[in-house]
Structure 1
């Protein structure tokens, strides 16, 4: 039996960038050997002193030296990773040509497409990105007990979509008690008691729990698995048109990484923890270790449709579009 995997790390929305963004330049730049450079942008929530690095199967394969021959076969060469605080700047960097590929979540991806950004999915993950509700009071140990409490959500994000749906499902949704909190502000707000609860990525929640006396009110992967978020790998329509081989190249590298993780999960967890400057235990307990054998996962597509419904309902996207056509074009 194979061991499943999920993409590590939460994906957020917002506007700020983190350090590490390289100088502006065309991501389509060629190399001396005629290969096209591939740079990957992603939200990065690693600990202090960490350097942005994709900790998905693609990043693991690249770290093991398995990506280079695959990419070269298809006419590409890996260049660098670029870290961002959240999702929208990844899209902005794609549009400006600063990066080639972006790895981010379903809500910011669908929002970008719905608002006219020319991005094209080359892979859609299974919806297994865990989200936890953390509270600062041991008595608030279930979502229904959050009724009437001030809740921090990052509006328009994967966590916003999950938080509103979960609160509503458990009879605790009150829009007047929701506070728009950027992810960077969530930890101090919870520590100071400015809010009673926040919805955050499972990988981050596990780290916070190691250093704070917080309580888990709910885990999406246990209590509301249909509300899990998913990850996408996207590029621009133009880059994919100019370099159609990028789809097969990326997926082959992903599969190589998955094969290595199946071979030795403990080795992978140790590597991911070292990249994120976190504990191995926080990596292990915050992941469902599930993955898709399909480049475009059907359950992931369903999640994209649900995200689109959420964004239209919130007025963030004005007009719906055909998700099936978008992911299969």
Structure 2
């Protein structure tokens, strides 16, 4: 079992190893660092993120991201909008966790990263040369899974051990929930989901804050592990925000990219709104998760602007908390960090 200090050291070593590998990759393939127009005149780009994969058919199709972006790529609307503006989507580079995609962004292996809120904000606070090109609404509900015959609520976790991915959205929201509910003395252990599942089944940890609600629901259905908290449901102010960032030098060289990216992403949002059941079927097919579970855990709420005030404000609160707790040491304006269309009075125009 890892202590907090050991977990952090492992996490730092993992990040350094990834960064070294990505830097080497760019040294061997410089075209991945500085995207130039292809033979057909289009500027190529790649996106880094966690791929949606069916574990029973891992190589059945091209890797795609989740959510509206993945669906926009699946329907082809994303590619069409980007090509109109002179850009060619060259595919997704899959990473084991979203924080790693930011290392790929920094090395130049990808030009865009799809991540959760905490990794993106911490990256910017470290001074990484990237800018937000899309900020979602607060919709990510972090579900906490307990061991059998263990604590039944967050309030019962005082003095107990909880598994998380350090620096993740789930880590941030779990700590905020403990603070809001006045629960001291929780010990956190750095654990990947697959390792955490075995730790829960053995009783080595008392709970795990799952980054994906579908993971928690799957563990409940398959292994009988209890869900002891749905933090976003119990505390609506504590919900995760998806973020898309792009390399600053890429945006400077191609100032029309952010607007084109939003128009492409919007095709996926519109398709989900038009036929949500078709979207749920796609997610189920891509992941192997039963469609009933997909429906039960879906949180598909989008704004009609790339930078909704609700999402921007949530990230500013996240940054303030990370500074106050020592995880970040540099403040910045989230609104200024965002690039592309300007924040407007219509930022709160939200539809299901």
Matches of 1:45 and 1:256, distance apart in 2: 19
2:196 is aligned with 1:189: no
Structure 2 unaligned spans of 5+: 1-10, 341-352
Paired residue for 1:43, among 46, 50, 57?
50
Query: Is 1:232 aligned with 2:243?
Result: yes
2:131 to 120, 145, 153: 120
**TM-score normalised per structure 2:** 0.82
Residues 63 and 44 from structure 1, CA distance in 2 versus in 1: closer, same or farther, beyond 3 angstroms?
closer
How big is each residue's C-alpha offset from its partner over 1:272-304, in whole Å with a ceiling of 9 and x where there is no partner? 122223221222111222111111011111121
Q: How does 1:1-329 map to 2 (within 5 A)?
A: 15=15, 24=26, 25=29, 26-27=31-32, 28-44=35-51, 46-48=53-55, 49-50=57-58, 52-137=63-148, 140-175=151-186, 177-200=187-210, 201-328=212-339
C-alpha distance 55-319 of structure 1, shift in aligned 2 (>3 A): closer
Q: Contact (CA 8 Å) 1:120, 1:236: kept in 2 or not?
A: yes
Give, in angstroms, the shift of residue 196 of structure 1: 0.9
Pick closer, same or farther for the CA change 1:69–1:319 going to 2, 3 Å: closer
- Residues 194-253 of structure 1 show CA distances to partners (whole Å, capped at 9, x for unaligned) of 101011121221222232111111112310121111011110110001111111111111
> SS of the residue aligned with 1:90?
helix
Greater fraction of residues in helix: 2
Shift of 1:310: 2.5
* C-alpha contact (below 8 Å) 1:270/1:280 kept by paired residues: yes
Contact 2:52 2:65 survives alignment (8 Å): no
- Runs of 4+ deviating beyond 6 Å: none
Change beyond 3 A, Cα 1:202–1:193: same
With over 3 angstroms needed to count, the CA separation of the structure-2 counterparts of 1:33 and 1:242, relative to structure 1, is same
Structure 1 length-normalised TM: 0.88
Structure 1 pair 328–235 and aligned structure 2 pair: CA distance change class (3 A):
closer
Pairwise CA RMSD of aligned residues?
2.3
Q: How many residues align?
A: 313
Deviation at 1:57, TM superposition (A): 1.6
Larger displacement relative to structure 2 (147-156 or 67-76):
147-156
